[in-house]
């Protein structure tokens, strides 16, 4: 089969990027694949093209609703209409109709949580599944960033849909996380397609600030000076809103904030405006970025640093997808440590909450969705904590489907606390490794690759602050400012119609 011709026909690309063809060829032979390809290298093509070349349906498990919607819209814009994402963006009626008509679709996107719905599982059993794809597969590992308990059940889903060839794909996975993926998905002899996490076009820089106020002032200076578009990451919704408001007051008009607390419609609108060039700066939490395929992001700033290096690599990887140099700047001060420790603890319930939750479960004979919501409300437990505890209950046999079996509250309490402590200790270890990277005087790129068990073979001429990279190379130039003044009709058309790509053509 001429895969290049198929790529051109379906997606308009003349050649594959590194790793894509290797993954596609292996999948088409019927083998399982664990793939790690750098952020921005077109991971979605690795399963979208095989899906279109196969007779059956491809099931894609994706962690974010906005990521699903973005990929569905991209495929439909390519003329591929037999694709759907089943999620909460739909009304109840739309969702029920779509689930009954799953056989009409070539590619189906579902979240791991939605895959636990019994009615959806029954409908999937009726289909001929060509491939099972686990996007952002690092979420399977409890040691990786963005851990999602329902990812741990995907091995059962693979068996339910007839054990089709499986592609588990991600941008960041240590050796330990890769082994977790293989084990949890019950992949006997997978082919590993592992590429370097290195992005030579991204220049790394870390700056120490004495106080939070000096960080705020430095963010303002950077946004005013750096050539955009750009992103600023925060660990709190409040801070993303606060800095966006401050930048607007200082004259940065095309700026917006984005976090999980916004209404769905607002999130989609802001995302689309940023993609179309109507917004230059996004102040966001980690809820923004995964799957965002904007080619020309020139800088990624971190007002707060994440809790592990994997998340940092994922986030700075939004930049430089057009292959041109971009800069990643992390700001930190001593006061940040308190916020980071709070983030590490946020999923953990107090002893009183956990005991109340287990006692409430013990009183139930069955556990329906309504019962679960009642328990979450009564114990003031967040959804992530509840899903993690539910997974423990299922793993110990306390909960079988909706049936609650007899159990000792004290015994289950101790087991959950032991596993929580093990995970917390690993998180602290990952944080300490990241802090060493932040404080190092050695080459940042070299140390980053070492974390992922890689060696730096070809150091780019412009590498990082410790290797002499000059930030001024990324500042706005007079010619940039003049071009905006000389060609105002482009900006006007973009603002009116949001057709940035058409204007460029």
HEC per residue, 428-495: HHHHHHHHHHHHCCCCHHHHHHHHCCCCCCCCCCCCEHHHCCCHHHHECCHHHHHHHHHCHHHHHHHH
> In this structure, are 314 and 451 located in the same domain?
yes
Would residue 424 count as lying in a domain? yes
Domain range for 156: 3-194
> In this structure, are 416 and 315 located in the same domain?
no
Question: Could you tell me the two tokens for 451?
Answer: 């974390």
> In this structure, are 306 and 356 located in the same domain?
no
Would residue 324 count as lying in a domain? yes
CA atoms lying within 13 Å on the CB side of residue 347: 22
Domain final residue, candidates 158, 177, 194: 194
Give the residues across from 240 on adjacent strands.
none
Give the list of residues 6+ apart from residue 424 with CB closer than 8 angstroms, or none: 344, 345, 348
> In this structure, are 78 and 168 located in the same domain?
yes
Q: Helix, strand, coil proportions of the chain in percent (round to 5)?
A: 50, 15, 35
> In this structure, are 449 and 391 located in the same domain?
no
> In this structure, are 331 and 368 located in the same domain?
no
Report how far residue 212's alpha carbon sits from residue 225's, in angstroms, rounded to the nearest whole number: 20
Would residue 213 count as lying in a domain? yes
Report how far residue 341's alpha carbon sits from residue 337's, in angstroms, rounded to the nearest whole number: 6
Q: pLDDT truncated to tens, each residue of the chain (505 aa)? A: 789 999 998 888 889 988 999 999 999 999 999 999 877 678 889 999 999 999 899 999 988 776 787 788 788 877 888 899 887 777 788 888 888 888 889 999 998 888 888 889 999 999 999 999 999 888 888 665 566 778 888 888 999 999 999 999 998 888 988 999 999 899 989 999 999 899 999 999 999 999 999 999 999 999 999 998 999 999 989 999 999 999 999 998 899 999 888 887 888 889 889 988 999 999 999 878 666 778 899 999 999 999 889 989 989 989 998 889 999 999 999 888 888 888 777 767 888 989 999 999 998 888 887 888 888 888 888 777 788 888 888 888 898 878 899 999 999 999 989 988 888 888 889 899 999 999 999 999 999 999 999 999 889 999 999 999 999 989 987 534 333 333 333 443 444 455 444 333 3
> In this structure, are 43 and 186 located in the same domain?
yes
Would residue 20 count as lying in a domain? yes
> In this structure, are 329 and 386 located in the same domain?
no
> In this structure, are 209 and 188 located in the same domain?
no
Question: Could you tell me the two tokens for 254?
Answer: 């095309």
State how far Cα 49 lies from the chain centre.
21
Report how far residue 256's alpha carbon sits from residue 271's, in angstroms, rounded to the nearest whole number: 10
> In this structure, are 244 and 352 located in the same domain?
no
Would residue 490 count as lying in a domain? no
Could you give the number of structural domains in the chain? 3
Would residue 487 count as lying in a domain? no
Report how far residue 457's alpha carbon sits from residue 437's, in angstroms, rounded to the nearest whole number: 19
Would residue 502 count as lying in a domain? no
Report how far residue 265's alpha carbon sits from residue 16's, in angstroms, rounded to the nearest whole number: 34
Task: Give the CATH number, domain containing residue 289.
Answer: 3.40.50.300
Report how far residue 13's alpha carbon sits from residue 3's, in angstroms, rounded to the nearest whole number: 11
Give the list of residues 6+ apart from residue 263 with CB closer than 8 angstroms, or none: none
Would residue 392 count as lying in a domain? yes
**Letter string b/e over residues 234-259, b meaning 16 or more CB atoms within 10 A of that residue's CB:** bbebebbbbbbebbeeeebebbbbbb
pLDDT of residue 172: 86
pLDDT of residue 476: 85
> In this structure, are 265 and 396 located in the same domain?
no
Q: In what side-by-side order are the strands of the sheet with 230-233?
A: 202-208, 326-332, 299-302, 230-233, 281-284, 255-258
pLDDT of residue 484: 33
> In this structure, are 95 and 218 located in the same domain?
no
* C-alpha dist (Å) from residue 439 to 205, 326, 363, 436, 443: 11, 22, 51, 5, 11
């Amino acid at each position: 089969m001429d895969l290049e011709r198929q790529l051109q026909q379906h997606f308009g690309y003349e050649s594959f990027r590194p790793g894509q063809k290797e993954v596609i060829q292996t999948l088409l032979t019927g083998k399982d694949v664990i793939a790690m390809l750098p952020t921005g290298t077109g991971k979605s093509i690795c399963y979208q093209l095989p899906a279109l070349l196969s007779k059956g349906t491809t099931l894609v498990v994706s962690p974010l609703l906005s990521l699903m919607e973005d990929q569905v819209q991209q495929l439909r814009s390519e003329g591929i209409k037999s694709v759907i994402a089943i999620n909460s963006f739909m009304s109840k009626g739309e969702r029920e109709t779509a689930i009954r008509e799953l056989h009409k679709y070539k590619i189906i996107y579902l979240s791991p949580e939605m895959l636990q719905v019994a009615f959806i599982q029954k409908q999937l059993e009726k289909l001929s599944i060509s491939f099972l794809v686990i996007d952002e597969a690092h979420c399977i590992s409890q040691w990786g960033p963005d851990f999602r308990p329902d990812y741990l059940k995907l091995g059962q889903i693979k068996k339910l849909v007839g054990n089709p060839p499986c592609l588990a794909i991600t941008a960041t996975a240590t050796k330990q996380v890769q082994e977790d993926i293989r084990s949890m998905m019950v992949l006997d002899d997978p082919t590993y397609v592992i590429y370097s996490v290195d992005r030579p076009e991204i220049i790394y820089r870390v700056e120490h600030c004495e106080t939070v106020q000096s960080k705020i002032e430095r963010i303002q200076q950077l946004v005013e000076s750096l050539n955009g578009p750009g992103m600023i990451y925060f660990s709190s919704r409040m801070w993303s809103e606060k800095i966006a408001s401050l930048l607007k007051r200082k004259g940065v008009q095309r700026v917006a904030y984005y976090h999980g607390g916004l209404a769905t419609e607002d999130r989609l609108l802001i995302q689309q405006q940023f993609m179309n060039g109507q917004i230059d700066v996004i102040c966001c939490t980690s809820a923004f970025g995964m799957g965002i395929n904007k080619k020309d992001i020139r800088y990624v700033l971190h007002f707060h640093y994440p809790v592990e290096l994997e998340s940092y690599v994922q986030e700075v990887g939004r930049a430089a997808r057009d292959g041109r140099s971009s800069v990643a700047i992390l700001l930190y001060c001593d006061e940040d440590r308190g916020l980071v420790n709070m983030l590490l603890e946020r999923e953990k319930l107090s002893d009183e909450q956990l005991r109340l939750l287990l006692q409430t479960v013990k009183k139930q004979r069955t556990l329906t969705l309504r019962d679960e919501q009642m328990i979450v409300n009564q114990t003031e437990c967040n959804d992530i904590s509840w899903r993690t505890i539910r997974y423990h209950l299922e793993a110990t046999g306390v909960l079988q489907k909706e049936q609650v079996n007899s159990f000792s509250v004290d015994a289950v309490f101790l087991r959950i606390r032991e596993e929580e402590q093990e995970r917390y200790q690993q998180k602290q270890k990952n944080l300490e490794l990241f802090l060493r990277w932040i404080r190092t005087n050695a080459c940042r790129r070299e140390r980053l690759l070492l974390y992922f068990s890689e060696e730096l073979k070809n150091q780019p001429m412009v590498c990082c602050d410790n290797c002499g990279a000059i930030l001024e190379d990324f500042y706005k130039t007079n010619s940039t400012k003049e071009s905006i003044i000389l060609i105002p009709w482009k900006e006007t058309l973009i603002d009116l119609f949001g057709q940035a790509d058409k204007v460029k053509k």
